[in-house]
Amino acid sequence: MRLFDTGAHEAARREETHPRMRKAPPCTRRQDHEAPAAIARDGWRFHHLGLPTTAPRPDEYYLASLDIHVAGFETSPFGVQWMRFGPNAPVHELVRRVPHLAFEVDDLDAAIEGRRLLGSVTSPSAGVRVAMIVDDGAPIELLEFAKQRKARHRAPRLERASGPTERGASGASGITVRRGRWTPPRGRV
């Protein structure tokens, strides 16, 4: 008498051992005020929210090499990117139908270790490597930028000026924009 179906058992064993089929490690339940583990523990940085659409957008532009129309990324203060896929776009069906979150990672190979991939790692442009993974049925895009490109595109941060400063265009006093760490003016928190 069989206690379990060996076919199902064999499929489960393959899923656990095959590198492209393993699921992400389980995470603990987070509190309302805590960042997701991918950000807090793994150091991933939010890049954009990709929203598939079938309707043309007035500000979209066409990426011929990918057969995709995109809009919004450069102008959205929240990182919203609309995507309209052409029939030859080399994109998994899940990405065509379901919105995805995109994160910038320092080491793409380490980030995809043990995760289920949608397709293979690609390089859509010079200095960029991209992989799509799946988390609980949701597509997640991971982007790795070449080090020199990352340094060039790093956003400036606010930092206390080291001496007297004039009021800037925003009316702020005692704060200047520099690369580094922001500290509030003395006497204020």
| Cβ atoms of residues 68 and 84 within 8 Å | yes
**Looking at residue 125, what is its pLDDT?**
85
Same domain, 99 and 114: yes
Flag whether pLDDT at 15 surpasses 90. Answer: no
Letter string b/e over residues 64-93, b meaning 16 or more CB atoms within 10 A of that residue's CB: eebebbbbbbeeeeeeebbbbbeeebebee
Indicate if 26 and 46 belong to the same structural domain.
yes
- Are 116 and 166 members of one domain? no
Q: Look at the chain and report how many structural domains it folds into.
A: 2
Q: What is the mean pLDDT of residues 98-114?
A: 96
Q: Which of 148, 64, 143, 137 is nearest to 102 (CA)?
A: 143
Residue 147, domain member (yes or no)? yes
- Whether 185 shows a pLDDT value over 50: the answer reads no
Give domain status of residue 6, yes or no.
Answer: no
Task: Look up residue 120 and give its DSSP letter.
Answer: -
CA distance 133 to 10: 24
pLDDT confidence bin for 151, thresholds 50/70/90: low
One domain for residues 45 and 62: yes
CATH code of residue 28: 3.10.180.10
> What is the pLDDT, as a whole number, of residue 124?
86
Considering only residues 5 and 126, tell me which one the structure prediction assigns the higher pLDDT: 126
Residue numbers of the domain that contains 166: 156-189
Q: What is the pLDDT of residues 22-63, one digit of tens each?
A: 555 566 788 989 999 999 999 999 999 999 999 999 999 999
For residue 20, the cross-strand partners are none
Instruction: Say yes or no: 139 and 86 in one domain.
Output: yes
